[in-house]
Each structure stands twice: as C-alpha cells, then as structure tokens.
Amino acid sequence: MTYTLSLGQRVRLTEIESTAVCADPVAIDDAVRGRVRASRETLEKFVAEERVIYGVNTSMGGFVNWLVPVSKARQLQENLLNAVATNVGPRLDDTTVRAIMTSRIVSLSRGNSAISLTNLEKLIAVRNSGVVPCVPEKGSLGTSGDLGPLAAIALVCIGQWKARLDGEVLPGAEALRRVGIEPMELSYKEGLALINGTSGMVGLGSINVAQAKRLLQAYLLVSALSVEALAGKTKPFDPRVHKLKPHKGQQAVAEFLWDTLADSTLAVDELDTEHLLSGEMGDETKAGSQSIEDAYSVRCTPQILGPVVDSLAWIEQVVEDELNSSNDNPLVDPDEAEVFHNGHFHGQYVSMAMDHLAIAMTTLMNLSNRRIDRFLDKSNSEGLPAFLCQEDPGLRLGLMGGQFMTASLTAETRAKAMPMSIQSLSSTADFQDIVSFGFVAARRAREVLENVAHVVAFELLCACQAADIRGTDGLSPATRRLYEQTREVVPYLDHDETITDYVEALAQRLLTQPGLG
C-alpha cells in the first residue's frame, strides 16, 4: 500500500513508523508537486536578481563569509555532503533509515526548501527502491540539523558512499544502477536542503514514540496482573479518590486499573481486610495478620505512571510538530515570495522530548524493578515462595538470577537518563556555538526503551509464575488474556533453565505488538 503525502496534510508519527517497518512506498500528490516547483522557481528568480543567499552563492558553516559563484553550485553542494558525512560507529538498521528518509521527504514536501522537483522525486524513488544507505549512528550535533546521518543518505542519492540492497553492501552508484535510478545532479541549495534539517532525530524519534506508547499501554495491563499476583488491594484505584487530584494521566491509570480489576478475585477488596483486622482487635497492641495498605509500588501506581502517560502525550505532540515542519535554512516561501535565513534546523525541541522520553521510561522501569523485588522476596510477597520457586527450593534457585539482569539494566538505564539536551559544545569556529545533540538523545532513548522492555518482560514472567502459584481462576478477563499470551512464549517454570530467550521474546512483543491482552 502506497502512502501518499498531500499538501496541508498532517503526517502522524505512527505513519512514519508503520511505513518504515513494512517498507511501504511513499508518494506525493500533484498539489505537493506544484508547491515544490513554486518554491524552486522563486529561488531561481532570486538568483537571477543576484540576491546573496546562504548556501546558494555563499559557502556554508565556518566559511559563511565566503562568496561562491553559482557556476560552482554542483561542486559546492557535493563538497558539503562529503565534508559533513563524518559519522562513525554501527550502521543504523533498515527500518530506522527508512523512517529518517520518509521524515526528510515529509519536510521537503511542504514546499519551502527550494529543492527541485526532479531531485525530490529521486529521493522518493531511492526510499522506495529497497536501497538503504549505510548510516553510521554516532557523530551528529543535531544543530544545522542531523548533517552526518542525512549526508550519508544524500551521498548515496548522488551515486557515492555505500548502501545495502537485498542484504549486500554496495557502492552507492552500483546500488542505484541495480534498481535503475540515475543519480541526482545537485544545483544550488539542494545539498543543503537534503541535509540541513532535523529529520534524523525525528525519524528515529518517531519509532521511539511508537514503541514507547505500545510498551506503556502493555505495562498498564502488566500492572493490573502484578496487583493480582501480589494480592494487592484495589480501593486505592477507586476513581472517586482520584477526582481529588486532577492530573489527567493519574486519573486515566487509576480508572484503567479499577475497571480491569473489577472482576478479579485475586486482587483484594480492602473492606475484607478491614473486617478481618477488626476481628483481631483487642486490648493489647499487637501485629495484625495483614496490612491495611500495600507498598508504594502497588498502591501508588497511578501517581507514578500518570506522569509517564502525560509526558508521552507531550513528547508525541512535539516530535509530530517537528515532523510537520520546514526545518532547513534558508527557507523559500513562494506565498510570501521571500527567502528567510533562520534557525529551524536546531533540534532543541526534539532533543528535550527524547530526554523526557528517557526519563519517563526510566520512571516506569523503576516501578517495575521494585515490583520484581516484591515478587522474589518471600517477606514482601504476601505468601509467595522465595524467588517464586515452588518446587524443590534450595536445590533449585527459581527466578533468582533474573533479578541480577534487571538490577543491572536498571542501573545502566538510570545513567542513560542524564539529559543530552543540556550538553552543548561549541564547534565550527564558534559559528555553531550552541547545539542540541538531538540525534544522540534519540539514540539513547532507543537504548533506554530496549532496557526497560526487558525489565518489564521479567516482571511479566514473575507475575504469571505467581498467578500460577496462587491459582489463575481468580484472574480478571483482561489479565487472563495477557497471562495466556505470555504462556504462549514462557511455560510455568517448575525446573531451572536459561530464561534469556523467554525474556527477549517477551520484550520484543512488548515493543512491537499493539494491543497485548
């Protein structure tokens, strides 16, 4: 199915991710073609009038004060691509590269970047061809856009650098030849239009946000299952009390848990506890057989996950706004018949959003980590066996080892939550004197998501193990579906075995499968 961009259409982050994952082709309609053509014609008029415009008849970056005749435009633009394509490290995966290319196409299709229609259509053709430029993931400042990642893509489009095609790494020119695409010939401003924007961090950020939304939605159901498996009390989730603290995310989480647990007999009605403790009252101070309240990792779930829900809504809005922007410099607006030197390439919005995503997901992970400890600690699990080892304890170690992994990932992830958006360093002879590191922030947020998914996967494994020990007949209908889906991957563990494959399979499901449960 082809995804067609229309003029004035707001593109959703979910559309970037889904087309990238499925490798669906993208296209533009005639209105977009007309707008792109008008922007280019406006710039050509300015060139004929001998206006001095950055990246057209001037050099770029630290050489901004150098004037370059338009007769050298192609050489200047190709030199730009080669000069800034300095990223290093592992190559981005195919899905991420497709998301980045699609994000750049979306921005250029707004028709304010003065790229020629011919070269925009060649960029689209490369995106749809199966040719995937090799993009090293480290080295972007995220200001003047994602120059390094986008230049790696642009170089392939002009027949240079390297690309993957059907799993084979080829010279860019050979990859284009095999799919029947002639390399771009760049004129003034066009190399700059291809790379001087935030599409790298937006493409990766789009995938991050989509995965974070799936993980958060799944975790709400995991939370309900954990409440049941830990014999938690439901009254703290009563929507009536949450009306007294008007945070939308908190209220939504509480309502979800309240409704989901309504038919559970594993979760505890607080009134039953009250009646039991009332019967134990006497004239002497003594310990009751149960506690009237649960630990924070159960009782405070709405107050902890509520900010995550609210933060993710804001993060999605920010990244989607950036996706639907013209974010290079200069911009040529055909409606105003004017060229604007600007700083729209600066990635601070996305950088801060990705930092917030890392913090929000780390918060979720902290909650999961504490619940895991409650599941495995016999003194805190409301009657469950130590390390959820029902059969042959001592001879077997049960799920003890899984906590080693989750504690390690939790510590590592907390370190990754240090914001990148405040780590500015000056470069380019102090011309690029404050930068965003937005692509680095997006890359780190991706690593955080992967870690968090593995911690949550182990909590889910523990919750299902505990539910089996308590008796699954008491599960609510919704948590029973989640339990059954989990049991398709992980059996009840009545013997010790390596659980790595189980945890990794569950983590992948949490990140990629919508509607778990």
**Which residues are marked as active site?**
54
Main-chain phi, psi angles of 483, to 5 degrees: -60, -45
Angle between helix 199-229 and 477-487 (nearest 10) = 110
Integer Cα distance of 240 and 232 in angstroms = 19
Report d(CA 415, CA 412) in Å as an integer. 5
Amino acid letter, residue 68: V
The pair of structure tokens assigned to 297 is: 């990792």
Residue of 269, 197, 258, 281 lying closest to 232 (CA atoms): 269
**Which residue, among 409, 345, 22, 72, has the nearest Cα to 193 in the 3D structure?**
345
| SS3 category, 65 | coil
Residue 262: half-sphere exposure toward Cβ, Cα within 13 Å? 8
Distance (Å, rounded) from C-alpha 439 to C-alpha 419?
12
Is the backbone peptide bond immediately before 330 cis, with ω within 30 degrees of 0?
Answer: yes
* Contact (CB, 8 A) for 369 and 407: yes
Read off the DSSP letter of residue 188: T
Q: Are 353 and 315 in contact (CB under 8 A)?
A: yes
CB 61 within 8 A of CB 39: no
> What three-state secondary structure class fits 158?
coil
Residues 6+ apart with CB under 8 A from 250: 242, 302, 303, 305, 306, 307, 309
Give the separation between CA 507 and CA 278, rounded to whole angstroms: 44
How far is C-alpha 415 from the geometric centre of its chain's CA atoms? 18
- Separation of alpha carbons 300 and 236, rounded Å: 8
Q: What is the CA radius of gyration of the chain?
A: 27
Contacts of 332 (CB under 8 A, 6+ apart): 39, 40, 42, 43, 46, 112, 113, 114, 338, 339, 340
Closest by Cα among 160, 266, 284, 142 to 205: 142
Cα atoms found within 13 Å of the Cα of residue 434, Cβ hemisphere only: 4
